[in-house]
Chains A and B, each alone.
Chain A
Amino acid sequence: MAKLGVFYTIGFFIVILVFFSFVVIINRNFISTSERLEEDLGYEQIRNLDLSIQKGFKDIFTMLSGISVSKGTNSVTFTEILPNPSDSNFKSNISQYKTFLESNYPVIFEVEEINGNLPLIIQPYGIELGHLSYGGAEMNLTWKQVNFDGFVVTIQADVVLNSGSCDTSGSSSSPYLNLNAYGSSGSCTVTDNSHVEIFDTQLPPNLQVTLDLDEASQVLTVVASETVTAAVSVEGLTDMADDTIVTLPEEVLSYNFGDLNFIKNGTIRLL
């Protein structure tokens, strides 16, 4: 009888112990989950801030830069007035944006390159639109490998053109270069058959537009001496699903949230 009581006690003790162990496991799991979720919450806040900062920049860029970026079925097109008259307003707003961000958040916004040559990169192709000096008369596209077909450049100028206005010299095997030039009246076109290296519109002496495709240096340069609207389209981009994007250079934004032990370098997506 007495031994039976001991067994009851031990049995009951074991049941309680098992129950308590479950409670401890549940509690530990809860604490661990809470910590992960707290981190998630912090990262969610940072992500939200990052996206809103990118959206703010994109709004300034779209409205003030004088450059438009668009995506076609297999192409990305940059359109800009050369020389760009919008540069000073854009640069001033970007500098204000930098001051605003850095005074309110633990972020560093690198604007030197943006205000310098304003590079825009087509990812994942690595094709970069840049300028000799943003606001100036020259824009250029550089690439590291020919993972696209070629360029189509469309020039709109307030001059009279005729079918012989587009002069060419040299040749390029790949990528190709096409030109469509439209004047206030008349136009000229050069198609890709000859893979032309240089187009030089035979315009009045005060208005020359030169396209120089340098295969060796892997650069296409567009220079206008007077105001023209130039649209450079990069053709034959085959991965045109959502993967193809246009961004600023890497690491223009650097976040340092010390309390979350979180450091992040990022870029700004424009398209």
Chain B
Amino acid sequence: MVTKRLSLSFRFGNKGMIFLLDSVIALFIVFIILAISIFFLSRSEQSPVSELQASRIANDVFAILDYRGLLGNFDANEITSELNAILPVGYVVEYKIECPNRVYDSRGSSTFSEESAFSGERVFVDTKFNKCIARYWVWLS
């Protein structure tokens, strides 16, 4: 065995070590390129299109509430019922109504990540001509 290894060494020198180093360096470069590629591609999959869609859904839903007079003639139960009827499946919404004479916050003590939710707001005038703001947060459950 020792004789054979020596004879191989005489014949090919230390090329095995060079080949090993070459392979390691090549693999290292390949892995770096793959890692960078995977990083870029995974970022591309976080599509902001869904954020835009959530934004439009939220704005449309609260416009419907406004046009149906549910924001101006405020009743939390009616709003919840209407939201359940018109909000697309899979979306969750919380909202806050701020008028000069009252504030209602549907979030209560519940917590959610505002970073993962789309937020919007609209101005409206209630039945007593108070000028109010409805703020809302929508996200995919």
Point out residues on A near B: beta carbons under 8 Å. Answer: 9, 12, 16, 19-20, 23-24, 26-27, 30, 33-34, 37-38, 40-41, 44-45, 48-49, 51-53, 55-56, 59-60, 63-64, 93, 96-97, 100-101, 104-105
Contacts and interface: CB of A to CB of B under 8 A. Distances in A.
B12 interface: no
B10 interface: no
A269 to B, nearest CB: 14
A237 to B, nearest CB: 26
State the main secondary structure of chain B at its contact with A: helix
B130 to A, nearest CB: 9
Interface stretch (B44-52, B75-83, B87-95, B107-115): B44-52
A16 B55 CA distance: 39
Nearest to A57: B125
Contacts of A26: 40-41, 44
Interface string B118-137: 00111111000101010000
A158 B35 CA distance: 86
- Interchain residue pairs A-B with the least CB separation, the first 6: A52-B122, A100-B131, A30-B44, A27-B40, A37-B48, A48-B59
Q: Which of B41, B48, B51, B56 gathers most chain A CB within 10 Å?
A: B48
Given A48-B59, A48-B122, A49-B121, A23 B36 contact: yes
Given A41-B52, A45-B55, A48-B59, A55 B37 contact: no
Contacts of B121: 49
Contacts of B40: 23-24, 26-27, 30
Nearest to A38: B48
B129 A93 contact: yes
A241 to B, nearest CB: 22
B21 interface: no
Nearest to B69: A59
9 contacts: A16-B30, A16-B33, A23-B36, A34-B48, A37-B52, A48-B63, A52-B124, A55-B123, A93-B129
Contacts of B48: 33-34, 37-38, 41
A49 B119 CA distance: 13
B33 A44 contact: no
A20 B125 CA distance: 55
Given A20-B33, A27-B43, A64 B129 contact: yes
B131 A20 contact: no
Contacts of B59: 44, 48
Contacts of A53: 123
B123 A40 contact: no
Nearest to A40: B52
Contacts of A48: 59, 63, 120, 122
Contacts of A45: 55, 120
A37 B124 contact: no
Nearest to A12: B26
B37 A52 contact: no
Interface string B56-83: 1001000100110000100000000000
Contacts of A23: 36-37, 40-41
